[in-house]
Amino acid sequence: MKESNHIITTENVNFYYGDFKALQDITMGFEKNRVTALIGPSGCGKSTLLRLLNRMNDLIDGTRVEGKVLFEGADIYDPRVDPVDIRRRIGMVFQKPNPFPKSIFKNVAYGPRVNGVCRKRDLDALVEKSLLQASLWNEVKDILDRSAMTLSGGQQQRLCIARALAMKPDVLLMDEPTSALDPVSTAKIEELIEELKKDYTIIIVTHNMQQAARVSDCTGFFYLGRVIEYNRTDLLFTTPEKKQTEDYITGRFG
Amino acid sequence: MTRTLKELFIKNILLLFALVSVIILGLIVLFLFLEGLPVFEVVSVADFLFGLEWYPTYDPPDYGIWPLIVGSLVVTFFAALLAIPLGVLSAVYIAELAPGPVKEIFKPLVELLAGLPSVVLGFFGMAVVAPLLQNTFNLPTGLNIVNASLILAFMAVPTIASITEDALYSVPAEFKEASYALGATKAETIVNVVMPAALSGIATAVMLGMARAIGETMVVLMVAGGAAAVPESIFDPVRPMPASIAAEMGEAPVGSIHYHALFATGIVLFFMTLAFNLAADYISERFRETGSGTL
Ligand SMILES: Nc1ncnc2c1ncn2[C@@H]1O[C@H](COP(=O)(O)OP(=O)(O)O)[C@@H](O)[C@H]1O
Ligand SMILES: [Mg+2]
């Protein structure tokens, strides 16, 4: 891994919810145009780390960050940085599909609209492109005015992906995006991730080890707020270096 | 007793209680109509509603309640103009923007305001607002539309604010997170996501606040000035319908035309509040933006 290929790096990051230290001394780099998976038992800090990378944790009272998080070489926790700018460039997909209770079109157009795209023609094009990228266009092109709430769970999640893509982000953070979906929808989203990594850097939290093995290039294993092991996915799953990693991926604890 | 029997028993008891309140309500409405409708043997509906003169005790008497209707609508309108933005915006502030300690102070304060007896507010209007208006604008009387609207708004704000606040709290956090994650600012999130998702609740809040204002009696009796004439300026005194009913009911002999006319005024008031409630229902259905992602 060449250093220069890292779009995001964290340096000795500690993270606190009040007095509780949820992340400890995290130093890792995330490669550009690759899929990085974060795995580990519940409560080990995967979501916390993910939300640290686009400053979503700022929204929770009483949180504190130590260390550096560099995005394209600049510290995103520098006081001069507006978290809104960071979130425009680092998109996020949540565990539970959370479309707005608005039409399908308005959902996808939401991000561009708040960022100043208002010409109808531009929005139309952007919505179509994003839905195509999220392989949802064929299913919804005739019902763009219908409420997003009428879609199935899998479609809603792809809509959320389209909504994030409409911002043209550099990085896409996904927090267990398929944990609430059926196997068919899950397979669709995994295919989609394969497709998207040509243009985007993806960091995905997953509970599902097969999923990590299938979709990712690198995998980090977390335990109790620390990175235990971080390596190429094929190596981590075939020849784990640490005992804890081996125990986890072979299902001996978790 | 067997379990199914118990279930049946409980269900029927509850049905009975529900029926009792519905029946009592129905009887009150029936009574209102029985006592109000006879006035139309003396005056036509059109003359009653649109007549410009309300002189029920003169000889010959006039039973035109148009000045009273206008009085009610005007004070409610100006109260709404003040109370809706104030109530909704203070709820947005308390629910979405206020830092913890400020919220702890504001929230109970608003609730306390909601509990103020209207006679106290009316007293405040008479003793403080009226002289202030009279001196500042050099008016013959400080008991007028402006005064009544101010006090009514003051009464409606806590109702609107606390119901709006609940509507805002019930917006799922996941919508806000989604909005922030798309690079929206706090203000954009409130305007584009939180308020639309809470709109039906906000509409209910506004309508309930206004229904309270239009039906409110004590305040308008005390500070609206009591003149049964169509106002020409916002500093004119008026006599809204509830004030007229409350002030005159004691003097009107039971069964007299005046007595029936007051009940008929009550019918008009009843239809107006009904219209407010129907409007609230319609608006909240029409602009519904609710629901949550399915799993
Ligand atoms: N908002 C919060 N406030 C306080 N503690 C939290 C909060 N969110 C998560 N935590 C704690 O931080 C730790 C890591 O949580 P999380 O990042 O959600 O784990 P994971 O996603 O790996 O399951 C857990 O112990 C959890 O209880
Ligand atoms: Mg998690």
Tokens of B206: 């506004």
Which ligand has an atom closest to residue A49 CA?
1
Contact by Cβ (8 Å): B190, B92: yes
Spatial CB neighbours of B85, under 8 Å, sequence gap ≥ 6: none
The CA A79 to ligand 2 mean position distance, Å, reads 27
pLDDT digits (tens, 9 = 90+) for B36-71: 999 999 999 999 999 999 999 888 899 999 999 999
Instruction: Find the residue in B nearest to A166 (Cα).
Output: B182
3-state DSSP percent of chain A in helix, strand and coil, to 5? 40, 25, 35
**Distance of alpha carbon B217 from alpha carbon B211, whole angstroms:** 12
> What's the average model confidence in pLDDT over B16-27?
94
Residue B295 has pLDDT above 50, yes or no: no
What CATH homologous superfamily does A3-95+171-249 map to?
A: P-loop containing nucleotide triphosphate hydrolases (3.40.50.300)
Residues of chain B positioned with their CB less than 8 A from the CB of A91: 181-182
**Distance of alpha carbon A237 from alpha carbon A211, whole angstroms:** 12
Spatial CB neighbours of A217, under 8 Å, sequence gap ≥ 6: A31, A34, A35, A36, A197, A232, A233
Residues of chain A positioned with their CB less than 8 A from the CB of B197: 100-101
Residue type, B5: L
Name the DSSP class of B256: S
Nearest Cα of chain A lies from the Cα of B206 at a distance, in angstroms, of 22
Task: Give the pLDDT of residue B212.
Answer: 85
pLDDT digits (tens, 9 = 90+) for B215-243: 888 899 999 998 989 999 999 999 999 99
**Distance of alpha carbon B295 from alpha carbon B284, whole angstroms:** 26
pLDDT digits (tens, 9 = 90+) for B144-172: 999 999 999 999 999 999 999 999 999 99
Chain-chain contact of B178 with A97 (C-beta, under 8 angstroms): no
Instruction: Find the residue in A nearest to B287 (Cα).
Output: A102
Name the DSSP class of B115: T
CA-wise closest residue to A3 among A35, A24, A25, A32? A32
**What single string gives the DSSP state of each residue in B202-243?**
HHHHHHHHHHHHHH--HHHHHHSB---S--SSTTS-B--HHH
Q: Along chain A (254 residues), what's the average pLDDT of each consecutive run of 10 residues?
A: 77 96 96 95 95 94 94 94 94 94 95 91 95 93 94 94 95 94 90 91 93 94 95 94 91 68
The CATH code that applies to domain B42-290 is 1.10.3720.10
Mutate to test the interface with B, among A94, A114, A171 (most CBs of B within 10 A): A114
Task: Give the pLDDT of residue B263.
Answer: 96
Mutate to test the interface with A, among B191, B294, B295 (most CBs of A within 10 A): B294
Q: What is the mean pLDDT of chain B?
A: 91
Q: Is A42 in the pocket of ligand 1 (CB under 6 A)?
A: yes
Residue B114 has pLDDT above 60, yes or no: yes
Spatial CB neighbours of A212, under 8 Å, sequence gap ≥ 6: A37, A39, A204, A206, A219, A233, A237
Question: Closest ligand 1 atom, CA of A48?
Answer: 17
Beta bridge partners of A29: A9
**Distance of alpha carbon A218 from alpha carbon A232, whole angstroms:** 4
| Cβ neighbourhood burial of B264 (10 Å; 0-12, 13-18, 19+) | buried
The CA A72 to ligand 1 mean position distance, Å, reads 27
Chain-chain contact of B293 with A100 (C-beta, under 8 angstroms): no
The pTM assigned to this predicted structure is 0.84
The CA B218 to ligand 2 mean position distance, Å, reads 56
Task: Give the pLDDT of residue B289.
Answer: 60
Task: Give the pLDDT of residue A1.
Answer: 47
**Distance of alpha carbon B198 from alpha carbon A220, whole angstroms:** 41
